Chain A
Amino acid sequence: SYDLTQPPSVSVSPGQTASITCSGDKLGDRYVSWYQQRPGQSPVLIIYKDDRRPSGIPERFSGFNSGNTATLAISGTQAMDEADYYCQAWDTSAFYVFGTGTKVTVL
C-alpha cells in the first residue's frame, strides 16, 4: 500500500500564511492534488498536478511537490479558508490515495 501523512491540525492567524505538508515515499515522483472540505460540505479541488489551480480558485492557494513532501500554502489566510484539507496521489496498486487530512484553524 501507499500512505500519505499530513499533520492533524494547523493554526494560522488571519492574513498570515498556512503551510500544510503531505508526506509519502518518493512523493515528488507522483502528481499531487489537494482538496478543501468546509464543514458540512463536499470536497472541492483546489490544486492539481502539484501546483495548478482550477478555474475559480484564488491565487492565494499554491502547491509544491519535491522529494518526499508536497506542500499546500495558503497566503493571506482568510476566515473562509478554515476547513479540512486533503492531499491525494495516484498509485498503480492502491489507485487513489488520500492523505490523512489537516484541519486548518484561523485564529
Chain B
Amino acid sequence: EVQLVESGGGLVQPGRSLRLSCVVSGFSFDDYAMHWVRQAPGKGLEWVSGISWNSVSLDYADSVRGRFTISRDNAKNSLYLQMNNLRAEDTASYYCVKEVDTSGNYFFDYWGQGTLVTVAS
C-alpha cells in the first residue's frame, strides 16, 4: 500500500521559518519525482515545488521561489520543504504528491493527507 505521510505543519509568525517532511512507503521512492501542492482554506489547488528523483532538477512556483527550498533523502524515503520568510498568503494545507511521467503526460497519482501551515501573528 502506498502511503505518504506529511508532518511539520503548525502556527508560525510572519517572517519565520518552518520545515515540512513527508515520509513515503509502498513504492520505490528513488524512482520518482516528488512535489508539494498546497491548498489555502476554501480555495483551489496550487502547485508549489517539485524535485527530480536524483535531486538534480528543482522547480518552484513564482510565488515561493527564493523563499522555499525542496529537498529529498532517498535513503530515508523522505521529502522536505524548507519554508523561509513565511507570509500570511502561505497559509494552506500542504500535500506531498508522487509524480507520474509517461511520454509527456505529467500527473500525480498519490497524495498525502496534508499538513496545515498557518501563518499569523
Q: Show the binding face of A for B, using Cβ within 8 Å.
A: 31, 33, 35, 42-45, 48-49, 54, 86, 88, 90, 95-101
Give the A-B contact count at a CB cut-off of 8 A: 60
The 4 closest A-B pairs by CB, nearest first: A96-B47, A33-B107, A31-B105, A90-B106
Nearest residue (CB) in A for B37 is A96
Return A27 CB to nearest CB of chain B, in Å: 14
Whether B109 pairs with A43 at a CB distance below 8 angstroms is no
Given A42-B112, A54-B109: A31 in contact with B45 (beta carbons within 8 A): no
- Cβ contacts under 8 Å, A54 to chain B: 109
Q: What secondary structure prevails in chain B residues at the interface with A?
A: strand
B64 interface residue (CB < 8 Å to A): no
Residue tally, chain B, CB below 8 Å to A:
23
| Residues of chain B having any CB pair with chain A under 8 Å | 35, 37, 44-47, 50, 59, 61, 95, 100, 102, 104-114
